[in-house]
Amino acid sequence: MRKKRQWIGVFILVLIVSIGSFYLYRQSLYRELTKTAQQIHEPVKRPAPMKRLAPVELKRLPPISFLFIGVDERKGDRGRADSLMVVTVNPNQPSVKMVSIPRDTRTMIVGKGKLDKINHSYAFGGVGMTVATVEQFLDIPIDYYVKVNMNGFRDIVDAVGGITVDNPFAFTYDKTTFPKGRITLNGAKALKYARMRYNDPRGGFGREDRQKQIVEAVMQKGATAVMAYDDVLRAIARHVKTNLTLEQMKAIYTHYKQAHTNVEKLHLAGTSTKINGVFYVIIREKERQLVSNQLKAHLQITPLSPRKTKALPQ
């Protein structure tokens, strides 16, 4: 696990920084910001109770958690969660911890009562079932979610004027060649770059790393793209849903933004296997418990007795 001083690499904070920046520096845009915030606001319906006894009060500056859900939605199809990333932010340390959950992780789906891939929770029950399943898997509360249609990356990348990433190896995907090294991507190329999987020697894990690259690059570029506010807001309105309100976004931007000076990326190491002909990633219980305890400590939650998660070997 490595600590890096960098912008928080999650789309949640692309949203917060964009709207927070616009609010503070261009208050004349308040009407547009309010409209966008209303369009994207969607409270979460959970099939199981939250792991907090009461919602957090941001004015008290508690540590908080986010779930980023990247969804590959197609017309007439809800789709599946293509990317799941949990981020905890502690404003008092200040620091951030983030961890990606492999999309093929085998676990119990809350509200469905069956073992399946964790990303199928979205296909079964939307955001609510996905949030509840991630809460159970990591044994932590999820305070806020942000869902982004992966196809929306194209519009959002274009809205910030394109991005630059470091490509670890050369490959061709969908008739587009990506050379090794530092490359500049427009929206269409960024979507292809994030989607390639089968030509990656690390498979889905490599794809997840490229998706993180895209998110981090958009975060960095979005923080300085205030002049493109209209394009950014339109892209957000079309492709983003969240239970964050505008007031909460402003509060987080104002009081939590210093946490980006200390970012730690945690890793859930798993093994790939087939069960009844279906490909899964198996996260061992010791590995899951280690990451769970780190997140609990960061959220200042006192760990209870160890809880085993179904379908995880010891």
pLDDT of residue 82: 82
Residue among 44, 38, 64 at smallest CA distance from 52 = 64
pLDDT at 28 (0 to 100): 56
312 found inside a domain: no
Task: Answer yes or no: is 290 within a domain.
Answer: yes
Kindly state whether residue 8 falls inside one of the protein's structural domains: yes
**Residue 313 domain-assigned?**
no
Q: Is residue 199 part of a domain?
A: yes
* pLDDT for the residue 285: 95
Cβ atoms 109, 129 nearer than 8 A = yes
How confident is the prediction along the chain (314 residues), in pLDDT tens digits per residue? 443 333 333 445 555 555 555 555 555 567 778 888 999 999 998 876 678 888 889 999 999 999 999 887 766 677 778 889 999 999 999 999 999 899 999 999 999 999 999 999 999 999 999 999 999 999 999 999 999 887 777 888 888 889 999 999 999 999 999 999 999 999 999 989 988 888 888 877 788 788 778 877 886 776 555 546 677 788 888 889 999 998 998 899 889 988 878 889 898 989 999 999 999 999 999 999 999 999 999 999 876 545 555 555 55
The confidence score (pLDDT) of residue 312 equals 58
Rounded CA gap, 214 and 131, in Å? 23
Residue 306, in any domain of the structure = no
311: burial class by Cβ within 10 Å (0-12, 13-18, 19+)? middle
Question: What pLDDT, on a 0 to 100 scale, did the predictor assign at position 168?
Answer: 93
Is 305 contained in some domain?
no
pLDDT of residue 195: 83
pLDDT at 80: 77
> Which pLDDT does position 254 carry in this prediction?
87
Question: Does 277 fall in a domain?
Answer: yes
pLDDT at res. 15? 57
The whole-number pLDDT of residue 119 equals: 94
Residue 289 to residue 276: CA distance in whole angstroms:
27
Number of folded domains in the chain?
A: 1
CATH number for the domain spanning 196: value is 3.40.630.190
Range of the domain at 86: 2-298
The alpha helices in the chain, defined as continuous H runs, are 11-25, 30-40, 120-138, 152-159, 187-195, 204-222, 229-239, 246-256, 285-298
| Per-residue pLDDT, 31 | 78
Cβ contact 71:145 at 8 Å: no
Instruction: For residue 27, give both structure tokens.
Output: 């208050």
State residue 308's pLDDT score.
57
